Amino acid sequence: MRQSNRLWLVAVMAVAFATLAGCQRAAEVRYRVTVEVDDRGTKRSGSAVWSIAVAKAILPLASPYNARFRGEAVRVVIPGRGYLYALVAADSGYPENIFGDRRRAPLGDRLIKPRFKDRMDDIRHIKTMVGATGDLQCVNPAWIGLSCPKMVRFRDQNDPKTIEIVDPSDLTNSFGSGTRLTRVYVEITDDPVTEGIEPTLPSFGPETGFDNWYRSLPFGDPRQISKCDFKSCR
């Protein structure tokens, strides 16, 4: 087959797959993530609405579903002490873990019959539970990123290289005495996905030297965090 014909065939197949994907009606649920902090007796809080949409995969190679996450980090302003950011967690599955079949059988226990055969039906059911809330557990460091969003701050709000990991169980180490995390919770909502965090972030552009600094970090360094951890990039 001539090279031009191969390219034409690939293009046709790509269009066909895109068309099929567009015909798949995704199941979407939106949920508000709220972070509350006790700042010397004053409650500080921030929230952001996130979305997860799931559709059947056209080519179910690694997973029978394709998922698309949208959202941005939760920002809590602690006056005189800086900003606390709870980063986006695209793969956490918070709504399903708290309200869906995953909660009923968290370890995939086959003895517990799921309520729904299809993950999309589970998500559609969760979507109807507007106003329902559930707490995320942030007391165990092993749960960070799974049952609790990763939290960070910048020592210098204008320099992304000054990013620091915040221990949810010890905010005093990052924000001084009298500060503690009191609650992180999820609420099912039909509000639109939150936007507008970028003006509160430092620039991650080439003028900051962030890319070179990032590449210099040792493998597995928890500070290997990019702009896409603050705002979904896909």
Each residue's pLDDT tens digit, 41-57:
999 999 999 999 999 87
Global pTM value:
0.82
What's the total number of domains in the chain?
Answer: 1
Contact between 91 and 71 under an 8 Å Cβ cutoff? The reply is no
Does the residue 97 lie in any domain?
yes
Give 110's DSSP letter. Answer: T
Residue 16 lies in a domain: no
DSSP 8-42: HHHHHHHHHHHHHHHHS--EEEEEEEEEEEEETTE
Q: Within a domain: residue 19?
A: no
Q: Which pLDDT value is given to residue 137?
A: 86
**Strand, helix or coil for residue 206:** helix
Residue-number span of the structural domain to which 194 is assigned:
26-229
Q: What is the mean pLDDT of the chain?
A: 84
CB 153 within 8 A of CB 83: yes
pLDDT of residue 118: 81
Mean pLDDT value of segment 213-234: 92
Cβ atoms of residues 134 and 99 within 8 Å = yes
Structural domain contains residue 152: yes
Reported confidence tier of residue 62, pLDDT bands at 50, 70, 90: low
Kindly state whether residue 202 falls inside one of the protein's structural domains. yes
pLDDT tens-digit series, residues 200-220:
999 999 999 999 999 999 999
Helix (H) or strand (E) run with residue 173 in it = helix 172-175
Q: Is 157 inside any structural domain?
A: yes
